[in-house]
Chains A and B, each alone.
Chain A
Amino acid sequence: MSTAVILAEATGTWPYVAAAWAVVFGGMGAYALVTVVRGRRLSKKVAPEKRRWS
């Protein structure tokens, strides 16, 4: 029996669960970070009166 199979039987389906949650939470975090950084960079180029949420 290979190490991978032994590991899979020992851990069950948790690796798939962990990977799925990591993809969603990691993806959301990365996208949020990129969006905020882009927003900060662009905000410096636009006058405050044109930022209607200001």
Chain B
Amino acid sequence: MTTETVGSVQASDNGPTSTGSRSTMILGIVTIVALGVLILFGLILSPADENQGEAVRIMYVHVPSATLSYVGCFLTTIGSVVYLWRKSRWWEILAYASAEVAALFTAFTLITGMLWGRPTWGVFWIWDARLTSEAMLMLLLLGYLAVRGLAADYEVRAKRAAIVGLLLVPNVLIVRESVQWWRTLHQKPTLSLAGAHIEGLMLFSLFTGFIAITLVFIWMVIHRFRVAWLEEQVDLEGLDEAIAERRAEGALS
């Protein structure tokens, strides 16, 4: 076994040198296959819509992206609640990782929604209830990430970010219900507890989109969690070093 010194930490080459593990590698392979199936059904095999034409294919990435952004927000709020209640670092890091991935999927939702809106509504953007509330959700997520990234003690930024994180789920509920509560240009939900408004290959393609993008989401949250965990370990090592240096200086004087 060979070892090399990196900073003050003995890093060894007898373990994985990444955030990957056997399970995430299998998950990654399954995810790539699922994305291939999504391309096959979403872009090739599923038919064009009678009203929307080929633009309906945007739905297969837009709707799953939106749903997974909501899931990320739920995880962030749950993680924030548990952190504020039990001071669990594990849950706080999960909240942070989920928020970043949720921000990515919210950006996908906004951009693909604009690209879907132009051929169907004639405009890229309109300040109606659904679009505006979705934009507010994006700002809230960016706010969470900005607070979490503040140059402050871990406890301070984690606590402040967790308080912002508590606001995510109420905002998601407003986004979700906005098409019911207000008159908007945005269509009603494609899928609901009452059933689906599409069928056949279109429904199957949307289902495939949900599976593929859910797998991507899980893979991303796991890896982002591990990156955040490593960042915390590096910060802690730096703190320990600084304390040791101060003590050594004190002993000399």
Contact = CB atoms under 8 A, between A and B. Distances in A.
B6 interface: yes
B220 A35 contact: yes
Interface string A17-38: 1011101110110011001101
The main secondary structure of chain A at its interface with chain B is helix
A42 B230 contact: yes
How many chain B residues sit at the interface, stated as a range, is: 35 or more
Given A21-B58, A45-B9, 15 more contacts: A20-B115, A23-B108, A23-B115, A24-B108, A32-B223, A35-B223, A39-B227, A45-B6, A45-B233, A46-B234, A46-B237, A51-B230, A52-B229, A53-B19, A54-B21
B9 A23 contact: no
B11 A23 contact: no
A36 B230 contact: no
Interface stretch (B49-57, B140-148, B159-167): B49-57
Contacts, number: 126
B219 interface: yes
Interface residues of A, number: 32
B55 A47 contact: no
Interface of B: 6-7, 9-12, 14-21, 24, 35, 39, 42-43, 52-55, 57-58, 61-62, 65, 101, 104, 107-108, 111-112, 115-116, 118-119, 216, 219-220, 223-224, 226-227, 229-231, 233-234, 237
The main secondary structure of chain B at its interface with chain A is helix
B1 to A, nearest CB: 11
A40 to B, nearest CB: 5
Interface of A: 12-14, 16-17, 19-21, 23-25, 27-28, 31-32, 35-36, 38-40, 42-48, 50-54
